[in-house]
Amino acid sequence: DQQVKQNSPSLSVQEGRISILNCDYTNSMFDYFLWYKKYPAEGPTFLISISSIKDKNEDGRFTVFLNKSAKHLSLHIVPSQPGDSAVYFCAASGNAGNMLTFGGGTRLMVKP
Partner 1 sequence: KAGVTQTPRYLIKTRGQQVTLSCSPISGHRSVSWYQQTPGQGLQFLFEYFSETQRNKGNFPGRFSGRQFSNSRSEMNVSTLELGDSALYLCASSPLTSINEQFFGPGTRLTVL
Q: Total binding residues for partner 1 by CB under 8 A?
A: 23
| Least gap, CB of 85 to partner 1 (angstroms) | 19
60-75 residues labelled b (16+ CB within 10 A) or e (exposed): eebbbbbeeeebebbb
CB distance 64 to 37 below 8 Å:
no
**Is residue 75 within the footprint of partner 1 (CB under 8 A)?**
no
List, in sequence order, every residue forming a beta bridge with 64; answer none if it has no partner.
57, 75
DSSP-assigned letter for residue 61: T
**Is residue 34 within the footprint of partner 1 (CB under 8 A)?**
yes
| Least gap, CB of 78 to partner 1 (angstroms) | 23
Q: Which stretch binds partner 1 (CB under 8 A): 13-21, 37-45, 54-62, 66-74?
A: 37-45
DSSP-assigned letter for residue 84: G
- Report the interface residues with partner 1, using CB under 8 A: 32, 34, 36, 41-46, 49, 89, 91, 93, 96-105
